[in-house]
Chain A
């Protein structure tokens, strides 16, 4: 057993209102630079939807993630055929690379014209201007949230790769206005245990930090081969076209090292984000990633270790994990929701990178559907209501494709548990369900009353300190790197005059 610590973010999708505050705070801190304008290390997508970059989940096109070979070993999908030699053979031209047109051409508007246009008969307009070439663009054809809120449309939503395997009746939800469904999906880098980007880099520039599991790109070692962009199934490394280096979400390491939550999590208006420490067994990563699709969520829960187990604590100490980290792991909201209550799932575990961010599936639309099913009135007392969970408005299959590796059972378990907690709380507050029934429903899904109270508190009342349990690392005494050089290297904080530009290439 090789116990390591991992910082993990958890998203409660029910509460996400798609306001993009997270994206904007991330953008303002990290990516307001030339070459990085098009990057959104944190983005929020409407599901179903084509996403950003377009149809990023379609791995037949981008060849991201891993596959299990017939010989039973793990291989990057990108290396199909001659294996690693394929990387060297394609090093001059990378056939699976998305181009800027799959994201969007960054643009600004010619605002000057609004003030300086000569007097005339028509209103002056601000024409869009490319931030790459500086030329006027005929029209803007794509943007960072182009299909925002068009989730139910046949034009955008229908392109979602997660709709595969859905029945025609379920797909009908997309086109019938009164039935359509959508929800928001905030995404950052998953800081995977088995990252495809690290494995694909011919220069060895990408690495996972042993102390906290954050995956970073060494800018001085990156040689612009761009394999990480293709190999990451989540499309979270981005190629900076200005500097010729790849960049990615850094889990705000300058902030979390000091115990502060990530900018996206800190600014989240709906308080949907939780950050905590997980302990995992590094010896079992390979075995976990090789499980069959429907076992992947369970396997990922298995690799996460119990921070109260004395053996785990001993193993952690042996690997240099400090006391405050062990304490944080014991209070970790991620551990509770992923492993203890089993209500959160990783995003697309079937990509086999063992992603370390987790999602609580959305529940609200179930109520909506249940209402429609029972003749238009919301009636949680009927037994139909409980049984209708798998006929909910967001098809179970869709959620299973998104966060269950195709396994509907794990998603159903989470939804039923969340619903049981609601019914239990309704009995407590309003008392119209019946004590007996509320307790029976809880025990049916395997929760105790104490669990129910704790889940309720954590998902709806949790304070800043309970949502973000981030131990300080005191990096300043552990390394000879002056942490302040990080500030210098990343360019400057946005929203203000810049004193230093991002290092530019002179040749």
Chain B
């Protein structure tokens, strides 16, 4: 059996299927739980050193990954000059370490603070395990196998496009080092876990509306159309 094909040709579809169907199911059946339960109210001193570095480190990195999938040619053009390549790689590395620091603080906090432990589910532990694998292997890729941005755009991105085209060609990534393969496979696990964990909170898209909406909100129950929360009482 071709393990490469099973892991990188079939699992991606399964993961995305679970993510899409699972998210729709959870959003419709349990909207109440659709967020990342904040524990800042119980402990806010350590959290500061976790939440800020983590989010400000990981969001730009994640965005870069997505942008390169969409515009790989832009990346090659940018990396054409060595100075720009160094700049990109170094800032990526710095952001990666920032995120790693935040993540380690998260793990330390969740394991040591008894109040935070009281609101920790097994899913939260799983989330931290998946994330630490992802960040450590990501940093490994960047440090051990340079230049990561180039071979990501050269090998992984065509593979992702082949998946989009429903014509999976695992050959693109078959020869990547083990560390990179772990990084990719763990990313698939991450996608599949989205509906079942606090990962759903990055699918929350409403805060952007806050910038444009008026401060005050009124609702008129006598004017509103049918609400969606009608439940018949037996």
Contact = CB atoms under 8 A, between A and B. Distances in A.
B209 A204 contact: yes
Interface string B183-207: 0000000000000111001001011
Interface of A: 74, 76, 84-85, 87-88, 91-95, 97, 99-100, 132-135, 194-195, 198-199, 201-204, 206-211, 219-226, 229, 239, 241-245, 285, 320, 475, 478-482, 484-485, 488, 503, 505-507
Contact of A507 (B44, B51, B115, B196): B196
B154 to A, nearest CB: 33
Given A135-B114, A199-B216, A482-B233, A475 B206 contact: no
Interface stretch (B34-42, B72-80, B90-98, B165-173): B34-42
Interface of B: 30-44, 47-48, 51-52, 54-56, 114-115, 117-119, 121, 123, 196-198, 201, 204, 206-211, 213, 215-224, 226-227, 229-233
A499 to B, nearest CB: 13
Contact of A93 (B47, B123, B213): B47
A249 B35 CA distance: 23
A223 B204 contact: yes
A65 to B, nearest CB: 13
Contact of A485 (B44, B222, B233): B233
A78 B74 CA distance: 40
Nearest to A133: B114
A101 B222 CA distance: 41
Contacts of B204: 203, 223
Contacts of B226: 480
B222 A478 contact: yes
Given A97-B41, A99-B44, 15 more contacts: A74-B215, A132-B118, A133-B114, A133-B115, A133-B118, A198-B216, A203-B207, A204-B210, A204-B217, A208-B218, A243-B37, A244-B38, A320-B220, A480-B227, A481-B230
Contacts of B56: 92
Contacts of B198: 507
A12 B58 CA distance: 55
6 contacts: A99-B44, A100-B42, A133-B115, A203-B204, A226-B41, A507-B197
B229 A488 contact: no
Contact of B44 (A97, A482, A484, A506): A97
Given A84-B210, A93-B47, A134 B118 contact: yes
Contacts of B35: 222-224, 244
Contacts of B222: 211, 320, 475, 478-479
A88 B210 contact: yes
Contact of A99 (B42, B196, B208, B230): B42
Nearest to B122: A507
A195 B114 CA distance: 35
B37 A224 contact: yes
Contacts of A134: 118
Contacts of A132: 42, 115, 118
Nearest to B197: A507
B115 A209 contact: no
B217 A207 contact: yes
Contacts of A507: 33, 121, 123, 196-198
Contacts of B213: 204
Contacts of A95: 48
B34 A223 contact: yes
Contacts of A480: 226-227, 230
A5 to B, nearest CB: 12
A134 B211 CA distance: 41
Contacts of A84: 210-211
B233 A92 contact: no
Contacts of B221: 209, 211, 475, 478-479, 481
B71 to A, nearest CB: 25
A85 B210 CA distance: 9
A481 B230 CA distance: 5
A74 B215 CA distance: 10
Contacts of A93: 40, 44, 47-48, 51-52
Contact of B41 (A99, A219, A223, A488): A99
Nearest to B229: A481
A336 B215 CA distance: 31
Contacts of B197: 507
B98 to A, nearest CB: 13
A480 B223 CA distance: 11
A207 B123 CA distance: 32
A482 B221 CA distance: 12
Given A93-B48, A135-B114, A207 B219 contact: yes
A84 B214 CA distance: 11
Contacts of B47: 93
- Enumerate the 6 nearest inter-chain pairs by beta-carbon distance, A residue then B residue, closest first: A244-B37, A199-B215, A210-B220, A202-B207, A93-B51, A478-B222
Given A99-B42, A209-B220, A209-B221, A92 B118 contact: no
Contacts of B223: 210, 320
Nearest to A103: B41
A479 B30 CA distance: 23
A432 B208 CA distance: 70
Contacts of B114: 133, 135
A64 to B, nearest CB: 15
B220 A225 contact: no
B33 A223 contact: no
B41 A100 contact: yes
A505 B32 CA distance: 8
Given A241-B119, A244-B35, A485-B233, A202 B41 contact: no
Contacts of B123: 507
A138 to B, nearest CB: 13
Given A84-B211, A133-B115, A211-B220, A482 B52 contact: no
Q: Among B34, B38, B213, which residue has the most Cβ atoms of chain A within 10 A?
A: B38
Contacts of B196: 507
Contacts of B40: 93-94, 97, 99, 226
Q: Among A134, A482, A503, which residue has the most Cβ atoms of chain B within 10 A?
A: A482
A204 B52 CA distance: 24
A84 B230 CA distance: 34
A482 B227 CA distance: 10
A195 B208 CA distance: 21
A479 B228 CA distance: 11
Contacts of B233: 482, 484-485, 488
A88 B206 CA distance: 11
B193 to A, nearest CB: 10
